[in-house]
Amino acid sequence: MSAPPATRAEVCVAACAALFAGDGEILASPMGLIPSLGARLARLTGEPDLLLSDGEAHLLGTDGEVEGWLPYRRVFDVVASGRRHVVMGANQLDRHGNQNISCIGPHDRPTRQLLGVRGAPGNTVNHRTSYWVPRHSPRVFVPAVDAVSGVGHDRGFHHVHRVVTNLAVLDFGGPDHTMRLLSTHPGVAVEEVRAQTGFELVVEGAGVTRVPTERELGLLRAELDPQARRDREVP
């Protein structure tokens, strides 16, 4: 008897897991449920050397037990060392990978105050950064961000790796490192992604996002997220 087919959320988790391919023995810092499940899935499959924190001050091994101490002050040391891959959220993202989590409107008097830049400026000039966007829409994918928190490719710095959304996987392989559609999730049309993106997207050569294997689905469903919280985040 075969398992039920992968849900959209499970495709997103596997796409987040794939972000860490080749990363080796570095700190994976996924923000949010889907990227966290992705990082843990990556560690159980192709990337066993990844380090993961509990979101407080500990590094947790594959068995869920403490294997190290990582208070905030040490996180900043890791950031500066470059041995880290963060998956952040984004209130706004532009085609160069500039990210805004600070505010909407002018900074001296915003129409909406958000979190603040947090560690985004430091992350994006020090190490690999990816983004997770649970609702792919023109409100997020904008021609120009109101505030540059995370630094994009046009500003001369690091490596913004990929963007995973509820609809697609994107990278910065377009002309001059602009955003390009890498794959749409099964059942999503390229036109839908285009319509939900507020700027012109390079779509030539886009494929279909890989469906998780039975082993990956088994790990996800039985071990990592038996309550299926993932399916509530991405219906």
Q: Which residues bind other proteins (CB under 8 A)?
A: 56-58, 69, 71-73, 76, 79-80, 102-103, 107-122, 124-126, 147-151, 155-157
Nearest approach in angstroms of CB 232 to other proteins is 17
Nearest approach in angstroms of CB 109 to other proteins is 4
Nearest approach in angstroms of CB 78 to other proteins is 11
Nearest approach in angstroms of CB 73 to other proteins is 7
Q: Which is nearer to other proteins, 90 or 203 (CB)?
A: 90
Backbone angles phi, psi at 116, to 5 degrees: 110, 165
Q: Which is nearer to other proteins, 107 or 229 (CB)?
A: 107
Q: Give residues with Cβ within 8 angstroms of 217, minimum separation 6.
A: 3, 6, 10
Question: What is the rounded distance in angstroms from the CA atom of residue 134 to the CA atom of residue 33?
Answer: 10
Q: Which is nearer to other proteins, 126 or 196 (CB)?
A: 126
Please say whether the beta carbons of 143 and 199 come within 8 A: yes
CA geometry: angle 199, 38, 204, nearest 5 deg? 35
Q: Which is nearer to other proteins, 103 or 217 (CB)?
A: 103
Eight-class DSSP state of 54: -
- Nearest residue to 201 via CA among 163, 231, 159, 157: 163
Nearest approach in angstroms of CB 80 to other proteins is 7
Q: Which is nearer to other proteins, 6 or 179 (CB)?
A: 179
Please say whether the beta carbons of 150 and 98 come within 8 A: yes
